[in-house]
Amino acid sequence: MEIPAFANKVHHLLFIYDFASVGCTEKILNQNAILILNNDPLREQLHPAKKGIDTFEEFCNQSSVQELILNLRGSKHHHTKPKSRIDIHSTQLVYANRLFHLHKWLDGRDFEFNNFVQTAQDTFQNRRESVTLHGLEHLLELYQNSFNSRRDFILLLKRYLNDQSHKGKRASSMVVEKSAILAYFRCNESEINITFDPKKRYKVREAEDPEPEMTLEDLLKLLTTGRPTLIQKAVILSKFHRGLDTTTLVDRFNFQAWGQLVSYFGTANYMKWDPDMCPVPIRLTRMKTDYSHVGFLDRDAVVAIQDYLYDEQKKKGRIPEAGKPLFVNQKGNAINVHWVSNAFNRMAQKAGIQSRLDGYDRKPIFSKNSHELRDLLESTLLNCGVRADVVEHVTGHKPKDSYEKQAKLFPSAVRAEYMKASNTINIFSNIYHYMKGDEKTILLENQVKVLKEKLEEAKNRERAIQEKG
């Protein structure tokens, strides 16, 4: 067997053999021989020190991470794609961030694993080798070239999942950590199995734990003492009535609702829209589930949109167009997820309904958030006697039974079911247009009266402060 000239400096030479080929003791079947060296200069020559991966961009540009990204779902946005320095989104971005944290944890860490080393011409020995890791991709390469050492790699990754750096995280968050690791190895054709139950170490949600929730009374306060602008009121009511999650609101509803409203009312002159024709069916595809379904805008939402558009045209001369955003920010750009979240939080603070929940150490969680509007619609519809399958449909849940096609076959029946809740969800026009004198209406009317008085008092205090200034 021909030996390279520098082999005299090599103390141990490991050849990877195909042990199914009996007697081939000198034939190298895999040319990628692993050289185990004691001579430091030669070790550096054969295994040069890897350039440090310090930034998230550098990490994502590694071939193994690129392989992962190519196999994960990216952005589903059609109109409002979130800004990203390296053009990765959704699951791609979540997993890449989690793995970058793992990469930094591994970098510079000493690691021992088994290697099969040739000690003589026909003799091999299973030895422990110690290396200093250069990060995640280095670990992957070692795993791919290791022999009978799977256990060492699994224990190292389990040590990371149980590390103190995750203190305060919820079990649900650690499920994502594990999923990201498994996906990374799987997408690089080096599957690994990690037995790890995050519920045994990390917090799980219990029945008595506080969680965000919202009532109709909270919504009423939000839209009165919360002092919303016209656009904020229109956005919140649209989100509530249509049962929208925020991403679907900003990327689909905001660009598709105008055309459907014009088609339904038969005119682009929004001031001629008749609220008595409500609720208006609006078909959209929910981005999270790719489920196309019909929901509705009832009177309050439509009137709020009319008021907003009238103000926009009067102050800015803006007339809505098909395919253009219905709701725009002060710079004239389409509103985004952050705009909705920030607007809701400011209104909730002003309304006095916002508080921070206990038990969330890593990230502050508040008692009210805009996602609760969708849950509020669902619970309100059920409480008003709307059929459960209709509630599931209008809030964008895929039917469990593929043959449940009532919404497509009988759209008028779905609309009629939704209308059972009209008097309840129209918290403003219910008073001004549906006065019946029942207890619920009287109670609601009194609440609005009190809230208006508080709002007027707040305005008077502001005027007094300004006059003194």
pLDDT band at residue 350 using 50, 70 and 90 as cut-offs: very high
Residue 14 confidence (pLDDT) above 70: no
pLDDT in tens, 280-337: 999 999 988 888 899 999 999 999 999 999 999 999 999 999 989 999 999 999 999 9
Residue 182 and residue 194 in contact, taking contact as beta carbons nearer than 8 Å: yes
Residue with the two structure tokens 């508040």: 366
Residue 31 confidence (pLDDT) above 70: no
Give this prediction's pTM: 0.72
| CATH architecture for residues 216-463 | Orthogonal Bundle (1.10)
Give me the residues paired with residue 345 across strands. Answer: none
Closest CA to 255 of 284, 276, 216, 228: 284
Single-letter residue type at 337: V
Predicted local distance difference test score (pLDDT) of residue 443: 58
Residue 362 and residue 168 in contact, taking contact as beta carbons nearer than 8 Å: yes
Contacts of 224 (CB under 8 A, 6+ apart): 351, 448, 451, 452, 455
Rounded to the nearest 10 degrees, the angle between the axes of helix 171-187 and helix 136-145 is 50
User: Phi and psi of 152, rounded to 5°?
Assistant: -60, -40
Single-letter residue type at 468: K
Give the lowest-confidence range in 354-358, 401-405, 408-412, 442-446.
401-405
CA distances from 415 to 125, 177, 289, 408 (A): 75, 43, 22, 11
Predicted local distance difference test score (pLDDT) of residue 451: 62
Residue 437 confidence (pLDDT) above 70: no
Nearest-angstrom CA–CA distance, 169 and 160: 14
Give the lowest-confidence range in 25-29, 105-109, 191-195, 236-240.
25-29
pLDDT in tens, 53-75: 889 999 999 999 999 999 988 77
Give the lowest-confidence range in 34-48, 406-420, 425-439.
34-48
Contacts of 296 (CB under 8 A, 6+ apart): 241, 242, 278, 279, 280, 281, 282, 394, 415, 418
User: What torsion, rounded to 10 degrees, do the Cα atoms 187, 193, 199, 205 define?
Assistant: 20
Single-letter residue type at 445: E
Nearest-angstrom CA–CA distance, 306 and 278: 13
In the chain, what are the domain boundaries?
A: 1-48, 51-200, 216-463
